Structure 1
Amino acid sequence: MAKVNKYGLSRTIPADVRRKVRQQSGYGCVICGMGVIQYEHVVPEYHEAKFHDPLAITLLCPSCHSKVTTGFYSKQKVLQAMKLPAAKQTGFSKDFFDFCGPHPSIKIGGMTLVRCHSPVIIYDRPILKIESPKELGAPFLLSGIFCDKEGKPTLEIVENEWRAHSDSWDVEVSAGEITVRDSPRNIVLKLKVLPPDVILVETLKMRFGFVDININGETINLKSPMSDLTLSHCLAEDCRVGISIYSLISTPQIYPSLLTRLIRNTYSITS
């Protein structure tokens, strides 16, 4: 396949153009909303394009892209979907993690959690939890929530289905990684999966209630008005709970009604 078209235009779309295409598409296939995507020159098609125009490029999942290239979907269908992208209508792009292997292991910064039902609990609410298969041969089920530095959810996981919020500044999905940015070059979440049983949280800048969570490389820092905790090179294995902090049950009840109302109103993960 030629690396340039007849006008000398490279197949490589510049990073800033790709970001604009992602933003206007809601970070998912404009037809179905799935989050694993490919870039498609619509009108003009790539072989007739003189430059990479973000208004003429969109996002399609491999399935919808194949239906376009094989003639089962028309260009008109794509153009109509570009006006009302599926992910913007639902509020998120989505896809599924593959956990068809043994109990998933999770590495969060410098903390590794192996065969752990609730890897992280804050204010008695699980940030991540893993449930057993519902039937023989079914996968383990991961649920969780990630937020930005202001506490606004950016990525939710509901029984292996991940949902990237379409109002984020940027969401990029590539090579088994989900990267969320809140501004140029500022990553608030970088998550990587190694199917069928490993998930890595490599970068995180998140607020949950009054707790700031910062993950960078091999360290995880949890900071609140009450404490400042840094962990690295930790292992939790064969336990129900990996780390539980700021419990409203076991710690002094400092403004309990305010804390409980804040957490219940903002986050939906339940134990």
Structure 2
Amino acid sequence: MHSLPDLTAEQRADIRQACGFACVRCGVTLYRYLGMPDGPGATLLCPTCHGLVEEGRLTPTQVQSFHANPVVRQRHFARDRLPFSPELPHLIVGGSRVLRDTPIPITVAGEPILVFAPPRRINGATRISVRLGGPDGEPIQVIDGNEWLPTDGSWHFLLRGDRYSMMAARGDGLAVLRIVARNRIAVEHLRTTIKGRRLEVTPDWLEIDGKRYIDRIGSGTLIGLEL
């Protein structure tokens, strides 16, 4: 299955709507836009499920079946365990009180590390963007509005229980987001070096260039903390 980088904004919106704003097989709200394996059309698969296709463990017929009946539209699917919320999520990060109405909790050297936004359409998922440092310290957009961008194996994704885990194949780049509830996300562990600045974050503290801080991130503002 091939990526579809040249889709228009309207085409992407239609694909998201048709697929339920998530991977059609597992419901993860981070995905790639991919051409259907046999014939025209496009679907959404998370990086893990797309890997199964590449390994031959998901057949074209199975992908077609999942696309025809996305898991998030099935009655048994528990939407509460994933970030399907019409509002900005509350954030648990850096030892601060729960952050509200803070779309960009942290920037480093002008780079927004995490960005959260409400969905564009009803029943959509919280839009998550993640920007981390590559092996050379230059910023790399790993996720942009829920779209998984790396296609060369330089970053890996895992769903572990209620956690979205992203990690660099080389270097120590890491971001683990725990979906506490549909409208509450904890930054369980984030680690990156970007433009020479070393950042590490947990729900209880943040550390920049070896100095640890607690309760430094502001709430109710566009950017919670600029480093």
Deviations 1:78-123 (A, max 9, x none): xxxxxxxxxxxxxxxxxxx744232212223434422113211222
Q: Secondary structure at the match of 1:236?
A: coil
Identity of aligned residues (%): 16
Whether the 8 Å CA contact 2:86–2:122 is kept in 1: the answer is no
Aligned match of 1:102: 87
The 1:99/1:155 distance shift into structure 2, 3 A limit, reads: farther
Q: 2:46 aligns with which of 34, 42, 48?
A: 34
Asked if 2 retains the 8 angstrom alpha-carbon contact of 1:192 and 1:201, the reply is: yes
Distance 1:116 1:182, change over 3 A: closer
Q: How does 1:64-75 map to 2 (within 5 A)?
A: 64=62, 67=65
1:168-183 equivalence runs, <5 A = 168=154, 170-182=156-168
Quickly say closer, same or farther: Cα 1:39–1:182, change in 2 above 3 A. closer
Match of 1:118 among 68, 82, 104: 104
Classify the secondary structure of the residue corresponding to 1:173: strand
How big is the shift at 1:243? 0.4
What is aligned with 2:213?
231
User: Once the 2 structures are TM-superposed, how far is the Cα of residue 124 of structure 1 from its aligned partner?
Assistant: 2.9
- Counterpart of 1:6 in structure 2 is none
Compare the two structures and name the one with the higher strand fraction: 1
Residue 153 of structure 1: how far off its partner (Å): 5.7
C-alpha contact 2:90 2:99 (8 A) present in aligned 1:
yes
Q: Relative to structure 1, is the Cα distance of residues 199 and 155 closer, same or farther in structure 2, using a 3 angstrom cutoff?
A: farther
Kindly tell me the number of residue pairs found equivalent between the two proteins: 173
Maintained 8 Å contact 1:105/1:114 = yes
C-alpha separation in 2, matches of 1:187 and 1:100: 28
The structure whose Rg is larger is: 1
Residues 168 and 107 of structure 1: is their aligned pair in 2 closer, same or farther, counting only changes over 3 Å?
farther
Structure 2 equivalent of residue 146 of structure 1: 132
Query: Is 1:242 the counterpart of 2:224 in the alignment?
Result: yes
Distance 1:194 1:172 in 2: 17
CA pair 230-98 structure 1, distance change in 2 beyond 3 A: same
Aligned-residue CA RMSD in angstroms?
A: 4.4
SS of structure 2 residue aligned to 1:100: coil
Q: 1:35 to 1:117 in 2, by over 3 A?
A: same
Mapping for residues 1-271 of structure 1, pairs under 5 Å: 34-37=46-49, 58=56, 60=58, 64=62, 67=65, 98-111=83-96, 112-131=98-117, 134=120, 141-147=127-133, 150-151=136-137, 156-163=142-149, 166-168=152-154, 170-182=156-168, 188-216=174-202, 218-223=204-209, 229-233=211-215, 236-245=218-227
TM norm structure 2: 0.54
Q: Which amino acid in structure 2 is aligned with residue 67 of structure 1?
A: S
Q: Is the 8 A contact 2:133 2:173 kept in 1?
A: no
Change (3 A) 1:187 1:235: closer
- TM-score by length of structure 1 reads 0.47
State the one-letter code of the partner of 1:104.
P
* TM-fit CA distance, 1:177: 2.1
- Asked whether the 8 Å contact 1:38–1:65 carries over to 2, the reply is no
Maintained 8 Å contact 2:199/2:208: yes
Q: Indicate the SS of the match to 2:113.
A: strand
Judging changes above 3 Å, is the alpha-carbon distance between structure 1 residues 243 and 235 closer, same or farther for their aligned structure 2 residues? closer
Question: 1:158 Cα shift?
Answer: 1.8
SS at match of 2:65: helix
